[in-house]
Amino acid sequence: MSETHESRYCELADLADARLQLDEIRHHIHQHPELSYEEAATSRFVAEKLEAWVTT
């Protein structure tokens, strides 16, 4: 059975082009910690990043 784009999971190599951007996101989240179940700023930050990726 041949693998199609829709049926395959994301692999590490698929993220190579986004490496710097993902590192910046990780650093931002770790530099602005929030208490468990009170991650309002983190949720907002992640939602903004996801929305930006969808529109590009």
Per-residue pLDDT of the chain (56 residues; tens, 9 = 90+): 455 556 678 898 998 999 999 999 999 999 999 999 999 999 999 999 999 988 76
Check if the beta carbon of residue 34 is closer than 8 Å to that of residue 45.
no
Tokens standing for residue 3 = 């693998």
Type of residue numbered 3: E
Between CA 21 and CA 42 the distance in angstroms is 16
Q: Is the dihedral of CA 7, 10, 11, 15 positive or negative?
A: positive
* pLDDT given for residue 1 in this prediction: 43
Check if the beta carbon of residue 14 is closer than 8 Å to that of residue 38.
no
Return the domain boundaries, the chain: 5-55
Check if the beta carbon of residue 42 is closer than 8 Å to that of residue 32.
yes
* pLDDT given for residue 55 in this prediction: 75
